[in-house]
Amino acid sequence: MTEIYLNNDNLLSIEALKNASSGSFMNDATVTATLKDSSGNTVSGQTFPLTLSYMADTDGNYQATLSDSLNIIESTIYTAEITATSSSGLVAKWNMELTATKRTA
């Protein structure tokens, strides 16, 4: 996902989350996301951090819904700050850039 659609629910997905040292999929992690603007402020319109749920019978896939009520502006780039914590306490953090776009047919 590189776009976030204005006035739409949007699916935020993480695919194939792995332990970098063992190469095994992380199916029991706690994964959260916070959407921020270019100034580092948390976007309003939804409660953050948002918890992504593990998708049953997958190899490390997690999903959550970003609300249609998010206060986002067209053509603006936002950052989803992702944190994954494994059941053994390993932590991974990364950012995903999302551009606010008007959905077209």
Q: For every residue of the chain, which 3-state class applies, written as one string?
A: CCEEECCCCEEEEECCCECCCCCCECCCCEEEEEEECCCCCECCCCCCCEEEEECCCCCCCEEEEECCCCCCCCCCEEEEEEEEECCCCCEEEEEEEEEEECCCC
Residue 1 has pLDDT above 70, yes or no: no
pTM: 0.92
Q: What is the pLDDT of residues 26-62, one digit of tens each?
A: 999 999 999 999 999 999 999 999 999 999 999 999 9
- Tell me, what's the pLDDT at 21? 87
- Tell me, what's the pLDDT at 105? 75
Tell me the residue type at 66.
Answer: L
In order of their start, the domains of the chain are 3-101 (2.60.40.1930)
